[in-house]
Amino acid sequence: MPVTNYKTNQEFFVDMQRCIGCKACEMACAECETNGHESMIHVNYIDRAVTIQTTVQVCMHCDDPACANVCPADAISKDEFGVVHTANTARCIGCSNCVMACPFGVPKKNEAYDLMMKCNMCYDRTSAGKKPMCATVCPTQALYYGTREEMAMMRPNSSPVNNFIFGNEKVSTKVNIMMPKGATELRVD
């Protein structure tokens, strides 16, 4: 790994309450030529017939990434900063194990390239001390990249949560979801 200016005190925060479904994040993500102009972040309506609410799903960068664990080709790696990198193109065999294993439904197989592609937290930007593109442009800051202290000051009514309980499984992530004040985990069952 080359020497970087990656800021280890900066974290990624997602606040679904603030998402307005505008897709600025998707379009900004797709600007990256390493993605082949495909977005690695996804905005979807929950149920448009009854609500205007949208969700935004970005790679959660798990502490113990299921995608990497199930990869038969060892194509997915987590670096020293906790960033789970997209499949190494030389190794990925397009088997989709990671697509099925991810508890958050993040990796997508790009059929045209026969490759898995996912967010690497804009490593080209974050390693240069910048914020990821989606969190930079997000017009409502539903996506925020900064320190935990900044977040605590700016959003006094919310708490960041990065522990997710899926049945008996607990998944801890590098990316935080903003929850009501005092919450410590999100149960998804």
**Positions in the binding site for another protein (CB under 8 A):** 17-18, 20-24, 26-28, 30-33, 36-37, 48-54, 131, 133, 136-141, 154-157
C-beta of 72 vs 139, nearer to another protein: 139
Minimum distance from CB of 51 to another protein (Å)? 7
CA distance 133 to 35: 13
CA distance 142 to 152: 15
Minimum distance from CB of 178 to another protein (Å)? 11
Minimum distance from CB of 122 to another protein (Å)? 12
Closest CA to 85 of 111, 113, 110, 106: 106
CA distance 98 to 105: 9
C-beta of 33 vs 80, nearer to another protein: 33
C-beta of 21 vs 103, nearer to another protein: 21
Residue 52 makes CB contacts below 8 A (sequence gap 6+) with 21, 45
